[in-house]
Structure 1
Amino acid sequence: NPTEIKAIKEILNAQKECWNNGDIDGFMEGYWNSEELIFTSLNHKPAFGWENTLERYKNSYPTKESMGNFNFEISELKLISDKSARLKGKWELIRKDDNPNGLFWLDLKKFDKKWLITKDSTISFEINIPLSLLECDKNNPS
């Protein structure tokens, strides 16, 4: 259903706009405001509930600079039913000193006439070791 696909994409684009304006509260409007919301990311315990997810975002991104400029690309979007969808894609943050990026998987449900994220699983491909340290020093082998 192209209308539903468009509505889901509009939610994500609205989230992107809020994020890039430093508005985490606005960004969170794309999530289901329920204790049943699930947010998981690699290297962190899952956050259960809307308030805990909001707190996780605010602690992880305390300033507009730390939030950076958010971009995403949807690689797959499937309607499971007329009220349920699954989406996967790539994300990236463009910041002054780094460019974290990774993958995300979202489950969405339609409540009345509005699609909301009910489950968010995100992984990051950040590498904290400079590549130069991973290469062998040919002049000084250990």
Structure 2
Amino acid sequence: MKNNILILFIGLMLANCGEVINKEKDIEDIKNALNKSAEDWSNGDLEGYMNVYWKSDKLQFIGKNGITYGWENTLNAYKKKYPTTYHTGSLTFKVLSTDFLSKNLYSLTGEYYLKRGSGDLNGIFTLIFKKIEGKWVIVSDHTQ
């Protein structure tokens, strides 16, 4: 009986070895990706800013005007609303919380601060990050 329990325990340990999740590293990588996007935004590089977003037609951006689907549509909406560096200004984020949802999936809630010549903006957001092909990307963005 003791041998069976020991074998079961060892089997469970080995089965879980491939499922090690380093949440602290994941969150650090996600924050780094988010901060890189803010840096690109602040340099007037909207395409660079969008590198943190999932390059897919299934990307969701939810804002005060409704839902925009797709990476290209989201980029075009940003270009229309923020045509010059006078409009993009300098972007910073403050992360309020991160939540592990499942392997390779996190929720991040925060605040954004946009200092710019055409008037400062700030608000809140919730992002869903998913690790796709080894890269953390935003698959859903709800910003107000």
Aligned length: 122
Q: Tell me if structure 1 keeps the 8 A contact 2:86–2:116.
A: yes
1:89 corresponds to which letter in structure 2? G
Moved over 3 A (4+): none
Give a deviation string over 1:63-85, Cα, whole Å, max 9, x none: 01100110110001112122100
Q: Larger Cα Rg: Structure 1 or Structure 2?
A: 2
Q: Is the Cα contact below 8 Å between 2:86 and 2:118 reproduced in 1?
A: no
Normalising by structure 2, we get a TM-score of 0.82
Question: Aligned residue for 1:57?
Answer: 78
Letter in structure 2 aligned against 1:102:
G
TM-score normalized with structure 1 length: 0.83
**1:22-60: CA deviations, max 9, x gaps?**
000000000000010000111x13110011000010001
Partner Cα separation in structure 2 for residue 70 and residue 59 of structure 1 = 17
- Alignment correspondent of 1:101: 122
- The sequence identity of aligned pairs, in percent, is 38
Distance 1:111 1:86 in 2: 15
The amino acid across from 2:47 in the alignment is D
Structure 2 residue matching 1:54: 3-state secondary structure = helix
Unaligned 5+ residue runs, structure 2?
1-22
Q: Which has the higher helix share?
A: 2
Q: CA RMSD in A?
A: 0.9
The superposition leaves residues 92-117 of structure 1 with CA deviations (integer Å, 9 ceiling, x where unpaired) of 11012521110001011111211100
Judge which range, 3-12 or 93-102, deviates more.
Answer: 93-102
Q: Which residue of 2 aligns with 1:21?
A: 43
Q: Is the contact between residue 53 and residue 138 of structure 2 (CA under 8 Å) also seen in structure 1?
A: yes
